[in-house]
């Protein structure tokens, strides 16, 4: 573990961080009409969304060691 910088912020080694999934899933720079449920968005414009990778537009299964055991295995 080591210190790092993320988006201009200094994160000291050992700092506990929490991901705000609510904000990620409602980011208007990623999702058009983010407050509306639109199932078709996952069939068309975001059909190739990588929910298990390093692109965190959507993290329905969590991430890392504590991710959902029911998530699809790569």
Which residues form the domain of 37?
18-74
Q: Binding site residues for heme, as ranges?
A: 68
Is the residue at 29 inside a domain? yes
Is the residue at 49 inside a domain? yes
Taking only the tens place, the pLDDT of each residue in 28-57 is: 988 889 899 887 776 666 666 666 666 666
Is the residue at 4 inside a domain? no
Spacing of C-alpha 33 from chain mean position: 18
Is the residue at 2 inside a domain? no
Q: Binding site residues, as ranges?
A: 68
Is the residue at 13 inside a domain? no
Residues 6+ apart with CB under 8 A from 45: 32
What pTM was computed for the model?
A: 0.52
Count how many domains the chain has.
1
3-class DSSP string for the chain: CCCEEECCEEECCCCCCCCCHHHHCCCCCCCCCCCCCCHHHHCCCCCCCCCCCCCCCCCCCCCHHHCCCCCCCC
Is the residue at 5 inside a domain? no
């Amino acid at each position: 573990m080591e210190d790092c910088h993320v988006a201009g912020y200094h994160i000291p080694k050992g700092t506990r961080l929490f991901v705000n999934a609510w904000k990620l899933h409602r980011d208007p720079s990623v999702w058009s009409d983010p407050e509306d449920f639109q199932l078709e968005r996952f069939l068309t414009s975001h059909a190739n969304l990588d929910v298990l990778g390093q692109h965190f537009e959507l993290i329905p299964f969590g991430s890392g060691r504590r991710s959902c055991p029911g998530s699809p295995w790569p």
